[in-house]
Amino acid sequence: MGKRIQPLLFVLFLGGAFLIARLWQIQVGAHEVWADEAARLVHSGKVLPFERGRILARDGSVMVRDKPTYHLFLIYRDFRRGHPLGQVAHARSLLEGRAVSLAEAENFLEQWAEDLVRLLPEEVDAWARGDAVEREGWDAPALEGDREERRRAARTRHRHNRVADLHFYLRQLLGLEDREWRAVDKRIKRSDGKSSFLHLAAKERGLEESELLREMLKRVRHAMEQLDRFAGLARLDRDGSNAALDGLKHVPPLDLVIHELERTRRWVEDASASKLFVEAAGFAPGRLAPQTLLSRIDLDWIANLLAWDQQRLAEWAQKVREGWLEDWRDGWALPRLHADLVLDKIHTPTADDLLDRLSALYSHEAGVGERLDARFDETTPVVPWYREERQCVLDNLEAWLALDVDADLNERRLLPYRDPELRELARGLRDEKALDSLSRFQERPEPWTLLDAALPASSQFQQPTPLMRDEELFDWLVSRVAARLAGISDGRRLGRLFVGHTRAHEDLAFELTRRVAERWDAALQEGLDEVFAELVASASGPREVTPDGRLQIASSQRDRAIERADYYLKDYGLRPRAMTRREPDYMVVSLLARYNQDFAGLEAREAWEREVVVRGEDEGPLAAGILGRTSRVDERQQIANRAGAKRLRELWNQPRRGPEEEAELFALVGQVLLPDEIRGVSGVEGFFDPELRGSNGYREDVGLQELSEGGVTRRRRDPVNGEDIWLTIDLELQRAAEGILAHPPVITSDTDFDYRWTENPVGAIVLLSIEGDLLVAASEPTPFQEPDRSAVGQRANPIERTLLMPTFQPPGSVLKPLVGWYALSRKQLDPSASTNCSWIPRGGAGYIDLRCWHKSGHGHVNLHTALRGSCNAYFAWLGDGFLGEEFVELAQLFGLDRGTDIRTPPPWADGLRGRLGLREDFDRNVFLGGVLTDRERRMGGNGLGVLGVTPVQMARAFAAIGSGDLPSVRVVSRVGNQELARLPATRMPLNEGARRRIVAGLKAVTNDRAGTAYKTLSRQQLGFDVAAKTGSADITSGSDDPEHRVRKHTWVAGFTPPENPVAVFVIFVHDTATTSSHGAAYIAESFLQTPQMRAFLADRGVPVGSIEQR
Amino acid sequence: MNTPWSWKGLRPRRGLRAVFSARFSISEIDWPVALLAALLVGTSLIFIQAMAQSDLRFGREDVSFEGHLKKLVVALPFFMLGFLVRPRWLRRQAWLIYAFCILLLVLVPLIGEERNHARRWIPIPVGGFDLQPSELAKLGLIIALARALYRSRLQTWGEWGQPMLLALLPMALVAAQPDLGTALTIVPVTLGMGWLAGARPRMLVTLVLGGILAGGIAYQGELVQGYQMKRIETWAACFDDSVLIESKNGAAFHTYQARVAIGHGGLTGRGLGKGVANEANHLPERECDSIFAVIAEEGGFIGATILILGYLLFSALILISSGRVRDRFARLVVGGVGLYFAAHFFINVGVNIGLLPMTGLTLPLISTGGSSLLANFIALGLALGLSARQEPALDLDAFRS
C-alpha cells in the first residue's frame, strides 16, 4: 500500500465514523422524535358519528329521526385534473395568462381540446420563452419587448414552470397512461418539435392521428354528457340551498353545475392568493380597502402565479375585503367576542373588556384568536387596550417592504383608542374606583339614558326594540357610544348590555359593536391610505416601487411565498366543498358511485341528517314548538367546547399514548362537539339533548388503511347512539288542531266576527289529558314558518305559544271559575248571594268602576248565573271582597305562579338549569304579589290586568276543576327504555261540593241557552257534553285599530265530559277585535267537532252523538 | 506520431485491439472489489423491488423495478468497455475524452432539456435515453487529471495550474446548469488525485482553506444563487430538530422527510418495504437521491451501518488496489475512481442525514438513474480492469521503489 493511500484511508474511515456517529444520533438518540413524526405521516383518525335518538309520538309513530344521507362534495383539484372541462379551461388559462372560465371553455370545448392537442412542442417551448401561440379564433399573446425581454418576462410569469402543467393537461386529454406519456415525452425530445402532441401520441399508440382524435373527442363528449346527466339529477337550484345560484334559477341544470364548479374554483384561487399575500406581507389582504390594496401594493406576482389578469385581481381584492368584513370580522370575530363576553361568568363585562377585545381585532394577526379566547384560558393574559402598541397592517412594514420605513408609522393614531393621552390616563386608572373617577372626569355619557329606554324592560320581549328599527336614532346613538368608547366610559352601564338575558339585548349589543368597529375601520383605511401614499413618495428605484407607483413587497418575502404557491393551490384544491346541503337523489349517489371515473372531483359522502317524518300544515314538523329545533354548533358552544377540543387535538396528534391518555382520548371524542354536529337548541330537542345525543366513536388506523389492505386498525371505539324519546303528543289530534289554527273557520252569519284575525291568525290550542299528559300543543304562526315581513307585533313572531306568553296575557273571564271555587271554599261564599249588574257612573253596566261586557247589565246575578253569562260585575264584587294575599293563594293553588312541571327532570337529571329547551313562562309576581288597589282587586276577580297565564297553565287549572286534582303536566312519557312516571297530582284543598257547583255552572255555559258558549259548544253542536268557560281581556283601547275596535285576547277553557272528564282543552286567540263567543268559541267548536277528537273521546268511553249542523 | 505497440513482439496494434485488451489473468482481478460492487448492486435491486411492490400496494407507479433492471442491462456493456480498455489508449486519448465531455456540457444549455428548474439532460435520439453529461464529465475529468498528473508531482504552485483549470472548467459548466451537488463532488476528487500524484500536504491544506474562504465570501457576498442560499440557511437551521419539524412544509420539506425516514428506522429498521418513506410516499426521489434514507429506515441503524462500512470498504479497496498498479496513469485513474465513489457516498449520505445542505446526488451503484449508472459502471470497469493489468510502464514511477 503506497504511503499516499494510507492517509486517504484514514480520512475515509474517519469520515465513516463521523457518519455512523451522526446516524446513531438520529436513529437511536432521536428515534422517538422521528418515530412520532413518522406515525403522524401515516396514522389517520376518524370520528365515527353517533346516531341521534328518535322522537316518537304517543302511539309510537316516529316524528323526527336521524337518517343516513349523502352530501354532495366537490374536490376541485381532482375535477381540474380529471375532467376534460377542467383540463381545457386550465390549459387555456395557462396559455393565455387569464382565468378562462369553465363556462367559456364549455362553449367551445371540443374545438379547444383539439386545438390544444394539436399544439406543437416547439410552439410550447417558444411560448415558454415569451412568444405567442396563435390559432384560429384565439391566441396566447406574446409578451412585450425584444427576445431577451420576452424571456425575462416569461420567467417572471413562470411560463417555463407551466410547461409541465400544460403537458399534464395534454396527457390527460389524450388519455395516456404514465408509461405511454413517458414514451411520448421521449418522442418529443427526439423529434424536431414540429410534430403535434396528437401526432406523437397517435404514433405511440400505433393509431392514425384522426383515430386518436376521434377517441379523445368521444371521451370529451361522454364526460360532458355525464356531467349534464348529473346536473339534471342533482337539481342544485331546487331548494335555493345555494344562495349564489338564486339569481340563476331558470338556467339549464348543467349551467348551474358549471357555475358551482366555477365558484369553487374561484374560492380555491382566492384562498390561495390570500394565503400567498399573508405569507409575503404578514397580514390578511382583506384588512385593506380594495382600492388601497390595488393601487398601493404591487400584486402582479400573485396574478402571474395564478394566471390572472388585472380584472380578476380586482375581483379578488373586492372579495377578500368582503370576506374580511362579513365572514371574518362580523361572522367570526365579533360573535366570538360577544360569546366571550356573554359567557364570562366571573366578571361583569365593562367598557374596558369590550375595548380589550375590539382592539384585538386590529392587533397582530396571529394573536387575534388567542386574544379573543384569553378570558377562558388563564395561561394567556388579556392585553389591555392601552398596551396595544402595534397595529396589524403596520406591524412589519420594515420587513415586508424593502424600504427604510419610518418607525414612527407604528405610533400613528389611526384608531381613536390609540390616543396617547387617553392611554396614559387609562394606564393609571384601571380599577373600579378609578373608572368611576374617570367617568366623573369626563362628560356624563348621555347615551346610556337612551339605552335604558331602548332596552326592553322584561325578558319576555323578544322583538327588536323600536330603537333598532329607527336607523337615524340608532346611528346617532352609535356615534355617541363610539365616541365614548374611543375614550372610556361608564363600564357598569355598558356591562348591562351583555348581562341582559334576551336575544334583543345581545342583538343590540352586537349591532352596536359592529358599527363601532365599522367606524374604526373607516378611520383606519383613511389613515392607511395616507401612510402608503407617503411611503410611495419616499421610495426610490424599481426595487422599491413599480413605475406606476405601487410598493413592492421585499423579494425575499415574495420568493418565500412563491415557493409555497403550489402547496397552497393543492391544499385548498383538495378541501371538499359542499355543493349543496340538501340530500341528493338516490340516482345521483348511484351515478357517482357506479361511474366515479366519469365524475372526477365529485363525491357523495355519507352523513347523518335530522329528518322530520311527520309534517304539518307548513311542511314543518307537527308540534314544531314542542319538538324544538336543532342547529349546528354555534360560537358559544364552540367556546364552551374549547378546552376539550384543544386537548383532543393534542391527543389526536400524539401518535403514542399511555393507557390514561387513551382513555381520555376516547372520553373526549365522545364529549367534544364536532364542528358540524347537530345540537338540540329548543323544545324537546334541546331539553333532552343529553339523552338524544349519543357519543361519537373513534377509529384510528396506522399504515394508510384506506389505501392498503395491510393497514392496521390500532384503536376503535364504537359510537353510542342516542336514546329515543316518547312524547305524549297525539299526532292525529295535533294535526287537527294545527289545521284549524292555520285555517280558522269563517263564520259569515256572525256579524261580530273578526275576519282580519283569520287572515293572519295568532293563537294556540291545548288539549291535556285529565291526568296531565299534553296531547295537543298547537301554535300559530308555527315556529317553522317564515315570518311575514309585512306583519307586525305577534304576527311577526312565530314561536311556541302554549307554554310561552310573549306578551302580557291576562286570562280574562276563564279565571272566573277559579275565583268562584276559591270563594265558595275559602270565603264561604253563599252561592245564592247575588249582586246587581247595572248602570255605573263610568257608563254601561257593571260594578263600581268595572264595566261588564253586557252593556245593559245582567241585573241580579248569583254565582251560577254569573258563570253562565260571564258577568263581570259579579266577579268584580267577589274580587272586591278578596284580600291581596287571597288572590296570591288562589294563584298558588291553581299553579298559576309556577311552571306546569313540564320541565320536570328525568330521574338521571344533570343540573336541569343548564338545559336548553322546553322554555315555559309564568307570572313570577302573581296578582302583583298581593299588593293590589281596590280597582285591581275588582279586575283580578275577572282575570284582568294583574295576572298573565299560558294556555297550558290554564289547562292544568281547569283539570283541577274537572277532577279535583291539580296534575303535573308532562310531554315526555319515556326516554330510551325508562318510563318517566308522572309526578303525583296535588289534591285541591278546596271544597268538593263547591267544585261540583262550579262544574254545573260551566256546563250551563255550554248547554244553557243563556250560556256564552251555547251557540258553539252545546251538546247539539258537538254531540257530547263539555263544561267550559269563555273569556276575553282587552289589550288595547282600540285607538290604534283601523276600525277603532278594542283589541283583546280571547280564551275558551273547558273539559269533557263534565263528569269524570278525560280531557281538558284551552283555546287562546291573540289580538282579535271580537269577544270569545264570536271568535275563540268557533275555533273550540271546530276542534271539538273534528273526527279525530270524536274518535279520541269514543276510545275513552265517552258517548259521542251526532252533530247538528250549523 | 506514436504508434500502439505490444509488449510481446513489439508489434503495433490496430483497430479494436489497440483500444481493448482482455489479456490479463483472472486471478489479477480485484475480486473483493468486484464482490462488494455486486453486493451493492444486489442491495439496490432488493430495495428498488421493495419500493415497486410498495407502489403496487398503494396504487402508484412511481418506481419501476423493470426499469431499473433495464438500466442495469444497458449499463453492463459500458462496464465491459471500462474493464477492457487499454490504459495506454486511455492515456493517449485522455484529452480527447475530456474535450468530448466538455463539449457535451457545453451542449447542455443549447440542446438540453429542463426539468425541475435545471437543465442537465440531453435527449439521445436512440433508445429513448436521456444523458446527463455531468455524470460522464466526472469520469472525463478523472482521466484528464490522471493524464495531466502523469508527468507532474505537483511540487510547485505552477504545476497546479493545469489540473486546476481542468477541474474548474467542468465545475463551472455543471454549476451553471445549475447542479452544485455534482460540481462539489469534483473538489474532493481533484484534491484527492492531487494528493495521490504527490502534492505537498501544505499546498493541499492551503487550497482547502482557500476554498472554504472563497465559499464564505461567496455566501456573505450573496454570490451564490438564491435557492442555494436558502438551502444553506435551511440546512444550518435544521440541525435543531424542532426547527426542522416547524419548517417541514416549506424549504425543509425534503430534509424533513429524509430525517423522518432515517430516524424512524431506529436500531433494527422497519422491515423491507414497510417504511414510512415507501408507505406515505412523501420522500422525494426515494429511489434515487434519497435511497439511503429508505435503506436506513427499513434496515435500521444496523443495516445502514453495514452499508456505510461496506461502501467504505469498497472505496478503500479500490484505493488500495490503485496503490498496487504499476502504471502511474492507471494508478491515478483507479485512485480517482475510488475517490469518485467515496465523494459521492459522503455527499449523498451527508445530505440525507443533514450534515450537508440538500443537493441532488445519486448513491453510486445503488440509486436508479440511467446516466449515473452508466458512469458508475464505466468507473467500476475502469477500476477493476486497470488494476488487473500489470503492463510495464516507463513512466515517472517506473523506477521508484
Q: Does A564 touch chain B (CB under 8 A)?
A: yes
B395 by DSSP, 3-state: which?
coil
Estimate to the nearest angstrom the gap between the alpha carbon of A348 and the chain centroid. Answer: 27
- What pLDDT is recorded for position B331? 92
**Contacts with B, A 190-219, CB within 8 Å:** 190
| B188/chain A closest Cα distance in angstroms | 11
pLDDT digits (tens, 9 = 90+) for A555-614: 878 887 887 888 888 889 988 888 876 778 888 888 888 888 888 899 887 778 888 898
B241/A30 CB distance under 8 A: yes
- What pLDDT is recorded for position A439? 43
A4/B198 CB distance under 8 A: yes
Estimate to the nearest angstrom the gap between the alpha carbon of A410 and the chain centroid. Answer: 39
Going by C-beta distance under 8 Å and a sequence separation of 6 or more, which residues neighbour residue B51? B62, B63, B65, B273, B278, B286, B287, B294
- What pLDDT is recorded for position A73? 87
Q: What is the DSSP letter of A1027?
A: E
Q: Is the pLDDT of residue B1 over 60?
A: no
- Burial class from Cβ neighbours inside 10 Å (0-12, 13-18, 19+) for residue A1005 reads buried
A12/B319 CB distance under 8 A: yes
CA distance A151 to B39: 48
Provide the mean pLDDT of chain B.
86
- What pLDDT is recorded for position B164? 92
CA distance A871 to A878: 11
Chain B hits for A30, Cβ within 8 Å:
241, 263
Instruction: Give the count of Cβ contacts less than 8 A between chain A and B.
Output: 139
pLDDT band at B393 (very low <50, low <70, confident <90, very high): low
Instruction: Considering only the C-alpha atoms of chain A, give the largest distance between any 2 of them, rounded to a whole number of Å.
Output: 142
> Cβ(B329)–Cβ(B348) under 8 Å?
no
Going by C-beta distance under 8 Å and a sequence separation of 6 or more, which residues neighbour residue A553? A280, A281, A297, A298, A301, A400, A401
- What pLDDT is recorded for position B291? 95
Nearest CA to A510 among A370, A391, A635?
A: A635
Residue A578: phi, psi to the nearest 5?
Answer: -70, 130
**Contacts with B, A 145-184, CB within 8 Å:** 160-161, 178-179, 183
Residue A59: phi, psi to the nearest 5?
Answer: -90, 10
Question: Which of A6, A19, A125, A184 should be substituted to probe chain B, the one whose Cβ sees the most B Cβ atoms within 10 Å?
Answer: A19
Least confident window among A430-434, B63-67, B137-141, B316-320: A430-434
Question: Which of B111, B239, B260 should be substituted to probe chain A, the one whose Cβ sees the most A Cβ atoms within 10 Å?
Answer: B260
- What pLDDT is recorded for position A504? 55
CA distance A1078 to A751: 9
Q: What is the DSSP letter of A405?
A: -
A174 by DSSP, 3-state: which?
helix
Count other Cβ atoms within 10 Å, centred on residue A79.
22
Interface ipTM above 0.90 = yes
Q: Does B50 touch chain A (CB under 8 A)?
A: no
- What pLDDT is recorded for position B258? 94
Q: In order along chain A (1110 residues), what is the average pLDDT of each group of 10 residues?
A: 83 94 94 86 78 94 90 90 94 90 92 93 88 82 84 82 88 87 81 85 90 94 92 66 51 85 93 92 91 92 90 94 90 78 59 73 71 58 74 80 70 73 65 45 42 43 49 61 49 49 61 78 87 84 82 84 84 85 80 85 83 80 88 69 79 79 85 77 89 86 51 73 95 94 91 88 95 94 68 73 88 96 94 92 89 90 94 95 94 94 71 74 87 92 91 97 95 90 91 95 94 93 94 76 78 95 96 91 95 95 81
Q: Does B393 touch chain A (CB under 8 A)?
A: no
- What pLDDT is recorded for position A444? 39
- What pLDDT is recorded for position A352? 67
Q: Does A20 touch chain B (CB under 8 A)?
A: yes
What cell was used for A858? 245582567
Going by C-beta distance under 8 Å and a sequence separation of 6 or more, which residues neighbour residue A1033? A810, A811, A812, A943, A944, A945, A1048, A1049, A1050, A1051
3-class secondary structure per residue, A265-293: HHHHHHHHHHHHHHHHHCCCHHHCCHHHH
CA distance B209 to B204: 9
- What pLDDT is recorded for position B224? 67
CA distance A108 to B326: 75
> Cβ(B398)–Cβ(B392) under 8 Å?
yes
Q: What is the mean pLDDT of residues B69-77?
A: 92
Q: Does B263 touch chain A (CB under 8 A)?
A: yes
CA distance A131 to A144: 9
> Cβ(A955)–Cβ(A837) under 8 Å?
no
Cell match 360577544: residue?
A: A338
CA distance B283 to B62: 12
Whole-angstrom CA distances from A160 to A141, A886, B110 are: 15, 94, 16
pLDDT digits (tens, 9 = 90+) for B225-240: 666 677 777 788 788 8
Nearest-by-Cβ selection for B264 from A13, A20, A34: A34
CA distance A31 to A38: 10
Count other Cβ atoms within 10 Å, centred on residue B364.
29
Question: Which of A26, A122, A709 should be substituted to probe chain B, the one whose Cβ sees the most B Cβ atoms within 10 Å?
Answer: A26
> Cβ(A628)–Cβ(A79) under 8 Å?
no
Chain B hits for A34, Cβ within 8 Å:
259-260, 262-264
Count other Cβ atoms within 10 Å, centred on residue B375.
27
Whole-angstrom CA distances from A1048 to A751, A766, A784, A1073 are: 17, 19, 25, 6
Nearest CA to A1064 among A894, A924, A898, A923?
A: A894
What cell was used for A81? 385534473
**pTM of the prediction?**
0.65
| B265/chain A closest Cα distance in angstroms | 6
| B8/chain A closest Cα distance in angstroms | 29
A780 by DSSP, 3-state: which?
strand
Complete DSSP assignment for B329-345: HHHHHHHHHHHHHHHHH
| Type of residue numbered A933 | T
> Where are the alpha helices (H) located in A555-703, listed in sequence order?
555-563, 565-573, 586-594, 624-627, 635-640, 642-652, 659-671, 683-687, 689-692
As beta bridge partners, residue A74 has: A577, A602
CA distance A187 to A687: 71
> Cβ(A403)–Cβ(A397) under 8 Å?
yes
What cell was used for A207? 393509431
A31/B249 CB distance under 8 A: no
Nearest-by-Cβ selection for A20 from B57, B251, B308: B308
**Contacts with A, B 267-326, CB within 8 Å:** 267, 276, 279-280, 282, 296, 300-301, 304-305, 308-309, 312, 315-316, 319-320, 322-323
A1/B323 CB distance under 8 A: yes
Higher pLDDT, A1047 or B76: B76
- What pLDDT is recorded for position A675? 65
Query: Which strand (E) or helix (H) includes residue B35?
Result: helix B31-57
